Amino acid sequence: MDGINQIDISPGKSLIISSGNDGCACVFDVKSKRCIKKLTFRDKECMDSRGKEDSTNFMIKGCCFTPDGSGVYILASKTRYKSFVIKFNIKPMNNSFDFIPSMVTEVHN
């Protein structure tokens, strides 16, 4: 089992997000006690040691909800490569939520 790096609870206390070394941030619905979405990140410019495109997900090192609960931020990192902050807007939909990437910012190289 991979370790968990960080958790956060939405301002309305209806969602929990956790980031881990398994390459995803999991969003849980508190009421149903189940994972409703796995958020991941890949960088198409990332190359493996042989110079080929590395299609594996970055590790998700951190996560948090926006103060108003309308989005989440995740910190995605690849050892000795790059790190990015990605913002996903949360769009409520009939008894569920959609997470739409709205910003990608490289934060370390």
The residue ranges of DSSP E strands in 30-95, in sequence order, are: 34-39, 59-65, 71-77, 83-93
pLDDT of res. 105: 93
Q: In the numeric block, which tokens belong to residue 101?
A: 């990437």
pLDDT of res. 109: 67
- pTM (two decimals): 0.86
pLDDT of res. 1: 54
Into how many domains does the chain fold?
Answer: 1
Whole-angstrom distance, CA of residue 27 vs CA of residue 108: 25
pLDDT of res. 92: 87
Q: What is the pLDDT along the chain (109 residues), one digit of tens a residue?
A: 568 889 999 999 999 999 988 889 999 999 999 999 999 998 777 777 787 877 788 889 999 999 999 999 999 988 777 899 999 999 988 878 899 999 999 997 6
**Amino acid present at 36:** I
- Residue pair 54/9 in contact by the 8 Å Cβ criterion: no
Whole-angstrom distance, CA of residue 15 vs CA of residue 56: 27
Residue 81 lies in domain: 4-108
DSSP code, position 43: -
Q: In the numeric block, which tokens belong to residue 5?
A: 């790096």
Whole-angstrom distance, CA of residue 20 vs CA of residue 89: 20
